[in-house]
Homo-oligomer: A and B are copies of this chain.
Amino acid sequence: MTSSAVQAPVARLVLRAPYLIFLADIRETGFAKTGLGIAQWCPEKCVGQLRLPGCAVDARLPDLDIAAARAAGARSLILGAAPIGGDIKPNWVETLCRAAEAGLDIVSGLHRPLSRIPGLADAAARGGGRLVEVRVPPPDIPIASGRKRSGLRLLAVGTDCAVGKKYSALSIARELQRRGLPATFRATGQTGIMIAGEGMPIDAVVCDFTAGAAEILSPDNAADHWDVIEGQGSLFHPAYAGVSLGLLHGSQADAIVVCHEAEREQMAGYAGYPVPDLQDCIDLHLQMGRRTNPSIRCVGVSINTARLPADRRRAYLEQCARRTGMPCVDPLVEGPAAIVDRMLGVCA
């Protein structure tokens, strides 16, 4: 265990908006999820999209070249495309270098470091912009203190990976803001960070510091302010449960929403590991979360029902609600209002 708490001021991962979304020559929406998600969740941060010949996806933003994006105020080019393998295709390089030379920050969540793209570092040096790796945590993350912070926090947790934690957290934060309540979405994954413009890539933090990283992600705040925190992994996941627990402890969640995909029976990619029962998932999170916040409670279940036939959807949600005693919604269909009602009712 690392013994020295770092007292230095903490550097933060902060992006510069507005964005030019680079969709490259992607032909299938599945490989442009990052770019499309940003355009959907924060169109106000996006001045346009940049598409290469052959691109077949559309974020419904104005098509701009680099000069036009610059003129429109763009400060960052966001790599919104993620081909198989997480690498950057050779025919993208010239565009990226020209954007860097024009002074745009180049923002990437891909595995391959931007500094290894031929010519890009030099172009950025000439243009005066930054190469920003969304997967790289800021320096000087402290060891968690366990000290209770002011303000309120909701954490979106899950029965597995990729069950809608980011979507649920975003929609709850938006619903709070729509009601005129003070709320901030706190991102822990790369797409979330690009949407929020800042955040903590929690799964890339050295494990001694995971809870500490979660603590600085949601600092002290006004007593009635909600941080709505994007969860990662699952306490039941054979590979990632440690990340999930560090995030739960450091978040000191006052409330959790459990996210789940209807009809998923096995953990994705982990044959032999069943997806936990919803109530077991609620119970374990409350049990573990009490260690750093004794008043933690569950305020709802957020279910991705896309794989359910339309005629079974409502019965499925009602059955979940009966069994858990919680509001159970698909935020994409019903919206998160029922969860937000419960959360404000029990935590205010």
Chain A residues within 8 Å of B, Cβ to Cβ: 1-2, 4, 85-86, 111, 143-146, 161, 202-208, 210-212, 232-233, 236, 238-247, 249, 270, 272-273, 288, 291-292
Contact = CB atoms under 8 A, between A and B. Distances in A.
Contacts of A207: 202-207, 210, 242-243, 246
B272 A146 contact: yes
Contacts of A1: 161, 203, 232-233, 239-240, 243
A111 B4 contact: yes
A273 B238 contact: no
A242 B243 contact: yes
Nearest to A203: B208
A318 to B, nearest CB: 30
Given A4-B111, A204-B207, A211-B241, 12 more contacts: A1-B233, A143-B239, A146-B239, A146-B270, A146-B272, A203-B207, A208-B243, A238-B291, A241-B249, A242-B246, A242-B247, A273-B291
Contacts of A288: 241
A241 B273 contact: no
Contacts of A244: 242
A33 to B, nearest CB: 13
Which A-B residue pairs are the 10 nearest by beta carbons? Answer: A242-B246, A146-B238, A144-B239, A207-B207, A242-B242, A203-B208, A242-B245, A210-B242, A207-B210, A207-B243
A208 B146 contact: no
A41 to B, nearest CB: 20
Contacts of A249: 238-239, 241-242
B146 A273 contact: yes
A238 to B, nearest CB: 3
Nearest to A212: B239
A278 B106 CA distance: 52
Contacts of A236: 291
Contacts of A272: 146
A200 B177 CA distance: 46
A212 B237 CA distance: 12
26 contacts: A1-B161, A1-B233, A1-B239, A4-B85, A4-B86, A146-B238, A146-B239, A146-B272, A203-B206, A204-B206, A205-B207, A207-B242, A207-B243, A208-B243, A210-B243, A211-B242, A236-B291, A238-B249, A238-B292, A239-B249, A241-B245, A241-B249, A241-B291, A242-B243, A242-B244, A273-B291
